[in-house]
Amino acid sequence: MAEAPEKNLALDIVRITEAAALASARWLGRGDKEAGDGAAVDAMRVSFATLNIDGLVIIGEGEKDHAPMLFNGEKVGKGTGPCLDVAVDPVEGTNLLAYGRPNAISVVGVAPHGSMFNPGPSYYMQKLVVPREARDVVDLDAPVKENLNRVAKALDKSVQDLVVFVLDKPRHKKLINDIRAAGARIQLQTDGDVAGALMAVDPRSEVDIMMGTGGTPEGVLSACAIKGMGGQLLARLDPQSYVEKEAITEAGIDVREVLTVHDLIRSDDCFFAATGISGGDFLRGVRYSPRHAVTHSLVLRGKTGTLRYVESYHNLDRLTKFSAVRY
């Protein structure tokens, strides 16, 4: 049965990521990641207070960030409207922002209450992200070369034409060697695995696949977008310390289970927004002119799969007269 168009919450939450990006972009390259992240958190929290939602933060700043606001379990929104699970990363790539490197972004994802995977004490997970065309051919336990061959065939490319996004970390030494041995190209980034996951499913991006171990909260955030784009995210919790592994076991979570994008976000009725902070090949960063600040965002509604790229011109003279956000 045909349905009338419903409210697209992604068009509301993009205002939140825009505010966080505008507030934090002033700290680009200034070497103070806490100040940049704090500015984004403040802007995001103020902006959430304007939304008619009853939101519960499932993925927040977390224990690693010692966050006083937007922490896991915090309620956001006016307390009216739909009950939602909320995932936030005010600055995904705080080091990228602090040192003026590309692809720092501000990110928010929401889904119906109870449908978002709660990672509990897990900080890290192994991930494999591919676009729609390759979503049914990959296997998290298959050798790297085999997965690359399968993805190349699905994308009608040679393996030598593939670009693989990998975080440049010591833990990925073998992975990087295996990718090189298979003949694929690699895009190494120091941080930003949400951006990397999104690039793997974004039709505009040169990245074809993302591999490696990154943040568990970032994996859940990415899943909000990957689900709507029709791609696949395969993941398994990958604790990087004995303390983390023991905490996961005590929480009753099986570290052996392979999770799919549908396990991480169990509803199609999800929404996602990301706004660029520092310039990059994924989303352009905040740009200032004499009268405006210009932002570039990706906005996605999971149910329809509608993907929007939004360029916004913010009149700072007017905004600063009434907004509680410090731009």
Check whether 136 is labelled as a binding-site residue. no
Q: Which two tokens stand for residue 120?
A: 């509990």
Q: Are strands 271-276 and 232-237 parallel, antiparallel or unpaired?
A: unpaired
85 labeled part of a ligand binding site: no
- Residue 192 known to bind ligand: yes
Digit-by-digit pLDDT tens for the chain (327 residues) are: 555 456 789 999 999 999 999 999 999 999 999 999 999 999 999 999 999 999 999 999 765 455 567 888 899 999 999 999 999 999 999 999 999 999 999 999 999 999 999 998 999 999 999 999 999 999 999 999 999 999 999 999 999 999 999 999 999 999 999 999 999 999 999 999 999 999 999 989 999 999 999 999 999 999 999 999 999 999 999 999 999 999 999 999 999 999 999 999 999 999 999 999 998 878 999 999 888 999 999 999 999 999 999 999 998 888 777 777 777
Yes or no: say if 77 and 49 are a contact pair by the CB < 8 Å rule.
yes
Is 266 annotated as contributing to ligand binding?
A: no
37 is an annotated ligand-binding site residue: yes
In this structure, how many other beta carbons lie within 10 angstroms of the beta carbon of residue 126? 19
Q: Is 124 annotated as a binding residue?
A: yes
Neighbours of 176 (CB within 10 A): 19
317 is in an annotated binding site: no
Residue 53 confidence (pLDDT): 94
Query: Domains (ranges, CATH) in the chain?
Result: 9-114+269-322 (3.30.540.10), 124-264 (3.40.190.90)
Closest CA to 19 of 96, 78, 107: 107
Q: What is the dihedral of CA 237, 242, 248, 252, to 10 degrees?
A: 120
- Determine the pLDDT at residue 47: 94
Q: How far apart are CA 98 and CA 125, in angstroms?
A: 25
Is the CB of residue 226 less than 8 Å from the CB of residue 207?
no
Q: Residue 106: what pLDDT?
A: 97
Predicted local confidence at residue 290, as pLDDT:
87
168 carries a ligand binding annotation: no
Position 1 scores a pLDDT of 52
Cα Dmax for the chain: 58
Q: What's the rounded Cα separation, in Å, for the pair 79 and 109?
A: 17
β-partners of residue 307 are: 300
Question: Is 302 marked within a binding site?
Answer: no
Nearest to 197 by CA among 290, 264, 114: 264
Residue 4 pLDDT: 47
Please tell me whether 92 is known to bind a ligand.
yes
> Is 38 within any annotated ligand binding site?
no
Cα 281 to Cα 260: distance, rounded to the nearest angstrom = 27
